[in-house]
Structure 1
Amino acid sequence: MTVPGRRSSTFTRLLRHGFTAPSAAERLLDSAELASIRTDPVLLDALGATADPDLALHGLVRLVEAQPGATARHELLDTLISAKPLRDRLLGILGASAALTDHLTRHPGDWHALVTYEQRDLHPGVTEFERQLAQAHDPVSLRVAYRRCLLSIAARDVCGTIDVAETAAELADLATATLRAALALASAAAPDDDACCKLAVIAMGKCGGHELNYVSDVDVIFVGEAAGGTEEIKALQAATRLASHMMRICSDVTVEGTIWPVDANLRPEGRNGPLVRTLSSHLAYYQRWAKTWEFQALLKARPVAGDRDLGESYVATLAPLVWHAAERDNFVPDVQEMRRRVIANIPAGEVERELKLGPGGLRDVEFAVQLLQLVHGRADTSLRSGTTLDALKALAAGGYIGRVDAVQLDDAYRFLRSLEHRLQLYRLRRTHLLPKDEGDLRRLGRSLGLRTDPIGELTLEWRRHTGVVRRLHEKLFYRPLLDAVAQLAPGEARLSPEAARERLIALGYEDPAAALRHLEALASGVTRRAAIQRTLLPVLLGWFADSADPDAGLLTFRRVSEALGKTPWYLRLLRDEGAAAENLARVLSAGRLAPDLLMRAPEAVALLGDGDGAGLEPRGRAQLEQEVLAAVGRAENAEQAVAAARGVRRRELFRTAAADIVGSYDSADTPTGPDQGALVDLVGDAVSDLTAATLAGTLRAVVRAGWGDTLPTRFAVIGMGRFGGHELGYGSDADVLFVHQPQDGVDEREAADAANKVVAEMRRLLQLPSTDPPLLIDADLRPEGKSGPLVRTLTSYAAYYRRWSLVWEAQALLRAEPVAGDEELGRRFIDLIDPLRYPAEGIGDDAVLEIRRLKARMESERLPRGADKTLHAKLGRGGLSDVEWTVQLLQLRHAWAEPGLRTTRTRPALAAACAAGLIPAEEAAILDEAWILATRVRNAVMLVRGRAGDTFPSQTRELAAVGRYLGYGPGHVGDMLEDYRRTTRRARTVVEELFYEA
């Protein structure tokens, strides 16, 4: 008797053997069912060796209770104690699978299937499984027989008699035997149909690859032909009835549950296509219509049931198409895009728990291996295996994957598949999600042999293996390219030049010979630099290949590396700072502007390496101006001063462009999502601040060179248009007004001469020949336009605006903001124009009509001849001009009463109009979306082409690069243009309602 408050020795032993509910276990051991064996130490040891001892003990009691009589119970218990093989198998099943425990309690005699332990029992094949299923004469008995066979596979699996690859192969063999049995039942039920047609069942996916899960759809394709002189159409109808009946036999739910769904959606045209086709029909489809992923799926095609000759003819006929799929346009991007789509469709809360589809999961291994098989399998037939691990071994033997990488990938794949098997085995449900419940995690960890800290060890192993897969998935497609050009040890496996060339073409490189030369220049030799490059390049090549212009990315990387190769920090930065190498690859392959800037200031690579992203964060105007003025102060003359200011501008333009490009890769998939708006604001603020700082430095240089420290007149630069609105793009001109006011005691003529000389010299210095992007200052918005003086006094401006100002000038002044020079004078200018741009009671009807007339005239006169109005970002339908004029009209009408409208910026003014109820929220969102997208298009064109433009490029690669910047993957340029047209069409509708009051 146990003393109250003290634990019994059995309780302690149960805890030591891994029971989590020892009190309940004690009660079960004391039950009448286990009376004859409760004290046998062998039983506790065996229970403690299972994945879940509590589950195993509870299942054992249920199984004993289910036996049909005392004799049967004694037989089970006696055999359990005396026969270790049975004990290990049975308790292993009971501790790992609640579903198979349920089967055993429904069919209490089926435990006898676990008794046999002979050599021939270790690895039964299709024939053995067919023999065991042969006595099933209806769907229900087929399910029972199937579960009995599954019981024996699972028992060998949990006991370690077979490894994960052998388990998967046996499951595929059992599926093959089951499909044959189901087809036999269907044929017996319709002998006339069976007689008039030939039907072949082709296994696809994991069944076809001999790597099936415990619970999985069994993917198939059906091929039919006429037999016995039957007309083809009637034969196909009969074959379709047989195929449908066979699918139902396997898939339908009965009192014994289901076997697994048979899925024929991989057939041509998917669910919309006929269930059964002739071989010639299949061939015609794959020759004309099939997508890349369909050839990838055919890698695992294997005839498993029905007419064997027809099935083998199907595989033999389609094989040449499979092994030439890598020659298709956009082959690798198509495969990569499919992988990205798979990840994108995983619910956000499940990505990190997805064994199969998540990053670093099983699909990453399978996709990478299949990609390499398709590229190299055309010439190397040893790679043509449908089984992932066999193909991986062949790839390593052929030198297409490094031996160490192959071993690590093999280990990771086996671990992940084992985890998947144990996860599904518990309930025999199709799942690939790592559970959250601690009890489930503990059972999983113990099932894999992790006993000290099952949950902690399982988590560590899971993270380690997924990390390995993520890393190798990114690199293994590219590493052998380096082996093809690097100096390797004699006898070491390497890719042939032709194979390397094929791989580069598949990746999207248009000039593989040049690419190989770049690789050789970077990675050959025994220097430390070459060794680091060989470490970096596999991943970099993948990032280049993910861009619209891999050739340009690799070429520029070589140039940057040669410029900085002897700098000790450069390669160390790329190797040790995880973000730096990826950021560099993205920037170098995104177009011309950023690489051109970088080549003139290679040291700016360091900006890419800050782990927290601070290096790419644009600097504010005050900080920029301080640096520019300090650089100007150190220069010997005005030309050198402006050159120094341009140097700062060059580096900071690169910083902004790099932040924009990297942000575009990281932002939301929707091209006009919230991240896109943030990127537009980032570029507008950064380029506007940089332009203001450059003008401040140029002004300082001119004044210092001509007058020393004191100019005879106070001088200010007023930003206009996009400049004043903090919305400059990479290729925008800087619209400005110049204003001055004589110093006390200075003659007005002397002051005017000085001011005009300042303006002339600033324009001259900024127009000096340079390889940098131009900075053009445009003063055409001044009073009287091009015919008026370049610079006026504040008094002259006041007189002009008082007497002669037109409504378009009031509209233009909505964007006016001081950007350089005398701050007090700038403020006085703003005080002067505020009543003009924010008129009391708003503008009248005549002024509104005049603005509309000007807008209509601009649309008809300024749009370039032949330009597509639906794709012109500035003047086209629903573009920048439409949105900005609509917002500015609201400002002219209502800013006197709504302080939020008194801003030079378009988006804040639009938001203020919405907040004031002047525009419905839905319409404001439509205008904002269109303005963001049009601005992004202009920025993209400058980044890609290196010169400004207002419409999409016509050159294919440039258009694809614009698409990549806007968030569209390979092959989706048409979607980009259609989305742009749709977005701007909606905006134009709002403009016609609000601006034209149509």
Structure 2
Amino acid sequence: MAELKGTLERLPGPLRAEVARYWESFAAAADSAGVVRPTGGFLEQMIKVWASSEFVARTCIRDPATLMAAFDRGDLATRYAADEYQARLERLLVDAVDENQLGVALRRFRRWEMTRIAWRDLAGLAGLEETLGDLSELAEQLIDAALARLGEWHCRRYGQPRDADGQPQRLVVLGMGKLGGRELNFSSDIDLIYTYPRQGQTDGDRSVSNEEFFRRLGQRVSKLLAEPTAEGFVYRVDLRLRPFGDSGPLAMSFTAFEDYYQNHGRDWERYAMIKARVVAGDRVAGERLLADLRPFVYRRYLDYSAFASLRDMKVLIAQEIERKGMRGNVKLGPGGIREIEFIGQAFQLIYGGREPALRERSILRVLDILATSGRLPVIAVTELKQAYDFLRRVENRLQAWADQQTHHLPEDDLAQLRLAFAMGFANWRAFTAELTRHGEAVTQQFTQVFGDPAATDAKPQGTRADLALLWQADPTEDNALRLLAERGFENPALAWNRLQALKNGFSYRAMSQRGRERLDELIPRVLTAVSAIAQPTSTLERVLDLLESVARRSVYLALLTDHPQALAQLVKLCAASSWIGKHLARYPLLLDDLLNPTTLYAPLDRQGLALDLERQLARVPVDDSEERLNALRYFKQTQVLRVAAADVSGAMPLMIVSDHLTEIAEVLLRKVLELAWADLLPKFGQPRCMSDGVERDARFAIVAYGKLGGIELNYGSDLDLVFLHDSAGDRQLTTGPRQIDNPSFFAKLVQRVIYWLTTRTGAGDLYEVDTRLRPSGRAGLLVISFEAFAEYQYHQAWTWEHQALTRARAVAGPPELAERYQALRRDVLRMARNPQTLRCDVCEMRERMRAELDASNAETFDLKQGCGGIADIEFMVQYKVLANAQRYPDLVIYPDNIRQLDGLERSGSLSIADAARLRNAYRNLRRRIHLLKLQEQSACVPVAEASDARKAVVGIWRRLMEDAATIPASET
């Protein structure tokens, strides 16, 4: 055939005979199958591809009909649509009724589609990103298809896995490495991790635990994909990146998974998790898991530990290259693919916590961002991207030759010529010259990024040698106790036991070598710092609790070791408050705030809070709702820490503390409401209504009761909220693409508000929300109209609900609605009431509350619920306000207890003496509860501690609430 001969002549001489043999086999197979042989441009393309890939040639010889059908459909000439792999695979698997048939179908599909991808790559019809993307998408669809069918058959046998609440559970498959980054090479292993949301058991006749169910399912998936058969294999599966590696469970619940990374995660696992992506199974749950793990991968502050880790990695890479002689390895050798990836990962780990744009899985996207941000010169990024393109194409051509995983440059002449030809070079010398040029460019950039800094061995400043020996040496117990006593530790035995427990405990032994080195350097500094303050033993306990909680995340140890001022602030705050110590241990990202005492002890005012929140949210991608959740939570934790720091420093009185905590909550509530509106408006549109013949927007407000309403928020307080809207009249509908009635819209709005407030992320939640104070309590609607609310308050509300109304105010929504609510509240509170009935109702409710909640006993007094405690003061004030507001309307202006007492005194409803006693008692009791909260103690004290305040309150209660003769004539 003259055309074939002419095409073969264009090949390098040594390759012609090889391709000619392929042609002979193909021609015979095509003739036998009655398939027309290729001609023209298609023939030229085929010869070129075959010269570069024996795998493609043998696949074509094996099934010439499929090749020609693909050519006729245009499959080889065009890129698949986004869902093409999935659609074709689903059609193919319709008749797969058992595991054997499924395995055959998957292998055949993979073999042909790999042939197609390699064809387009080797023929120059697809660029690198398309090729890597197609290889990754193909793998993802094959894994997902295998899991879907095996999971269905598995459920038929054992039943559906469910959690303790009966919710169905599904396996989540994480793709790691190049699969996770959508950068899979031609014959790569696939690195997978199996996990599932919650523990439980299946609901079938042959019930098993969820752990056992998913373990068996994972085994079947891995075997189906990796087991060699007559049809070959689908993918080699590597599960060693899972928690605890080969010794760990094959499938792990989210809780155990997160616990592993929090307590055992190592630096290399952080690098690996950069690429992690859900590739099969429950994708929604998997994305939640990855969001929860994000703080493990990306630190909020500059990742101080990354510098040292990356310096060590550079040394290890160089040693590995020399030890294994990998200079001819395009992946791991000098100037290879790994060095390019490592450059990108370095910047991701160091800056990704503060720059969400760097949380990319694709190295090419990361390099683009580094150029845009100026972290790498544009020319350097250009060189790195060109080198990456070249090296990845070399890698794919090495592997496409025989569908084998290799990264080594060939040594025999024919293979070298074949690779050079596949890369578009006339000979090996020309190819290696270009390879060398790219490798040198990569090495130059790698050296600039990871050049060894000057070695430092500075000792911790101010560390007393004797205290250091308590940790670094092994003194006898007697010597240790003597030394601790000399240095002022009030309980030397407890301090020594805590140090010994840490050093001999699991946390220390389970730490990495680097982590132990950092802790060994840090503990003597901690001992020196705590020995200089009052009560060093209790402070040491709190600091050690925190260090134990972050011990296996040594980045925090590096922060405290490298920044003495941060350690000094930590010790100071832990000395003042165990609550702050636990707050920092719970949210260790806040340790970064210890670096700047100027801002740490200066809580922002309302305007400053709003501006700071906007700045933090501005850093988050608009479409990343999960990161917005984290930003809101981090904002709250940071601001609360500032208030607590100023509080324990003695610079802020209790009432101002509550003001700040209340302002933080209000700023967040307003932002959350704004975000909730933004979630719903695109789908449903603006709620509108026709009222009194005028069409208008329907509006919404959030009303706060309790501590938030009374401007008395404490650390950890929940929010008592009621939700109101003013939609009324006719045509109460939204205006968007999906119209719904206004009540339904506002119900969805409340659900979004609660979601934004209560969803727990790695940064915690914002607030617990209590909605039981709404009309009819739990039986009532979650959101109610103003008209219905007013009707309820005027005609149906219980006395205790009017009591609650005295401490209520609108905190979010349009000013007009706040004014309308205030007017309604004023009118309800000023209603005429029978004082005797009112007093009986208030006393009855107080006795019921005391019976249920009072924790007092013969030795201790409950500061809040005990007889003579805070609740008694509040109930007396509420009774007096409700009894006198009709005559003295100013009593209902303010929602907080102190200003209501002031108003009762001014109006003469309380005597000057009684008002003063109640104010003093109220402040003292609240301050005592506040201090106990900061020390993580219950609100109960020895009876003698609060006797004076208690006696004053009890005396006034008996006169006002138990003696009918004390009811003034003006109130009857």
The TM-score by the shorter chain falls in which range? 0.3 to 0.5
Larger radius of gyration: 1
Calculate the TM-score normalised by the size of structure 2. 0.44
